[in-house]
Structure 1
Amino acid sequence: MTYRTYLGALTGAALFSLAACSTSPDIDGSPSSDLGAQSTPSELTTFTDSHWQVESIKQGGIIDYSNITMNISNNRISGSTGCNRYTGTINVESESDERFTLTTDNIALSRKMCAPALMKQEQQFIDALTETAFYAIDKNTLLTLFNSNKVETVKAINTSGSLSSMQPTPNGPQATNLQQRPVGEKQDRVNTPQPSAKVYDCETPSANTTSLKVNSLGPDTLALTLNNTHHIVQLSRAASGAKYTNNKNVVFWNKGDEATLSVNSGNYYCSLIK
């Protein structure tokens, strides 16, 4: 064999080997799906005790500051719809290494009246949960739920925080405030008393005075109303007092009867009205 003939045979064998590698099927002989590719069996443990902040419902955005959450623990799902608290059962299974199922059942809601837009969004969220059949987790950070047709229903971000600070389930101390209601039934009345707001008298950045109303939406969440503008803030670490923030440059800090509110670097100095 001449050197040129030998070199040609060697090159052909190498090309054949590369082609075989690039066209080899998955282990099960079928192409992998986008749904399963985002999750691995090791991530199922992370999903079992977790807290998620909803970013979209049926591929649409959510109302600013509406704070829709999903807290998952011990086959229970609970959280906030942005209007009411909810709780229900959840079933998570692994059909294969690349196919994970998730279904919800027996969802119960408190019955608080909210703005019509929030109540409409709540119904969309509950509908999306009940339609969910599959899920995928990307790098333990992004959770995506899908219906039986593998169309996205909910997308949520993994957030920090312990399960002890999450909304109570029906076995908790506030179980009597949760009543079973068909998913399709619209809200039309208030069945549970709501806590009154704390009202502060505040000095504005321009040395005028205004009122600040503060409502508790949960153990770690406040709704602030200032000049007919609403802000939702979450509890964060602070050396003293209680500090609440959001990603819209709003910071609320209170200690005793005194509070400071910062909105876009403008400071309001407030005293509780007794």
Structure 2
Amino acid sequence: MLKLALFLSCSCVLIDAASVSTVAAESVPVELVGTWLAEDIGGGGVIDYLQTTLEINDDGTYSGFAGCNNYTGTFDLKGGEIVFGPAGSTRKLCVPAVMDQETKFFEALKTGLSWKIEETKLVLAQADTKIALRLAPHTVSSDVLINIPGARTVDRQMVRYDCAGQSVAAEYINAGPVSLVTLTIGGEFVIASNVLSASGAKYAGGQYVWWTKGDEATLIDTMKGEDVAGITCSKAA
């Protein structure tokens, strides 16, 4: 029995890979390949600001971000079904609502699912035709042009931080009255806007708060609760 040891974040997860074999690249339909964003899980919808993604690769592997944890695994194709093997994932804990969505997502992947493309959406259904997942194409990157009245110049500064062993890239963007920071945290990309603060510069975007004071910053994940102190980050050498 083959065991795959996957080192993700700070966790080591063992996956039993005997039940699913990797699909040959030429066997994966091109319309399946790509990164998909969950819009519906088991008919229950999803949390608006929480992105649950599924990346299907042409080498027979799949991966993504389930809402709290990153994951990866292999899949097989049998007739009109896609069968996802057990996923290895990191073991972070988030607030109950997030963990509930993540659990439902992983549960939806446990059985063989028929698949079809409806317009641009990927629909995965169970044997009883009940929809397990409805996913939309997930654009990895795009350019957005924002016209800011009165802003004659744009100042951009890229800084890399070490946040308790995790690398975080921050780009500060200042244009007239607008002050933003983009954060690349692992596989996540977040845009945060400046908010009022008694000291330092404080930004909020998605589930994160980014608070800078001098050469240090604090990264706060609000999904972990209101009383979480956050992670202290220092500028990387």
Q: 1:158 aligns with which of 127, 132, 137?
A: 137
More helix by share: 1
For 2:193 and 2:167, the matched residues in 1 are separated by 15
Aligned counterparts of 1:197 and 1:153: Cα–Cα separation in 2: 35
Counterparts in 2 of 1:195 and 1:132: CA distance versus 1, 3 Å: farther
Tell me the distance in 2 between the aligned counterparts of 1:161 and 1:196.
Answer: 18
In the TM superposition, what is the alpha-carbon distance from 1:215 to its structure 2 partner?
4.6
Q: C-alpha root-mean-square deviation of aligned residues, in Å? A: 3.9
1:144-155 map, 5 Å = 144-155=123-134
Q: CA deviation at 1:156?
A: 0.4
Displacement after TM superposition at 1:143 (Å): 0.5
Higher percent of residues as strand: 2
**1:84-113, Cα deviation, whole Å (9 max, x unpaired):** 1111111123x3xxxx10111121111223
Q: Deviations over 1:97-143 (max 9, x none)?
A: xxx1011112111122323221111111111111342111124x111
Check the 8 A contact 2:181/2:192 in 1, yes or no: yes
Q: Say whether residues 1:88 and 2:56 are aligned partners.
A: no
| Residue 223 (structure 1) shift | 5.9
User: Closer, same or farther in 2 for the Cα pair 1:224/1:76, shift >3 Å?
Assistant: same
| Conserved? CA contact 1:132–1:153, under 8 Å | no
Unaligned runs of 5+ in 2: 1-27, 142-163, 196-202, 209-214, 216-233
The one-character-per-residue Cα deviations of 1:122-169 (angstroms, maximum 9, x if unpaired) are 111111111342111124x1111112222101000123449xxxxxxx
Cα offsets for 1:23-43 (capped at 9, x unmatched): xxxxxxxxxxxxxxxxxxxx9
Tell me, yes or no, if the aligned pair for 2:169 and 2:185 is still in contact at 8 Å: no
Say if 1:203 and 1:112 are closer, same or farther in 2 by CA, change over 3 A: farther
TM-score (norm 1): 0.46
Distance (Å, rounded) in 2 between the aligned partners of 1:113 and 1:203:
37
2:192 alignment partner in structure 1? 224
Separation of aligned partners in 1, 2:191 and 2:104: 22
Native 8 Å contact 1:84 1:109 kept in 2: yes
Counting aligned pairs with the same residue, the percent is 28
Aligned residue for 2:31, secondary structure, equals helix
Over alpha carbons, which structure has the higher Rg?
A: 1
Partner of 1:115: 95
Name stretches of at least 5 consecutive residues in structure 1 with no aligned partner: 1-42, 163-191, 234-256, 258-272
Give the structure-2-normalised TM-score. Answer: 0.52
| Corresponding residue of 1:71 | 55
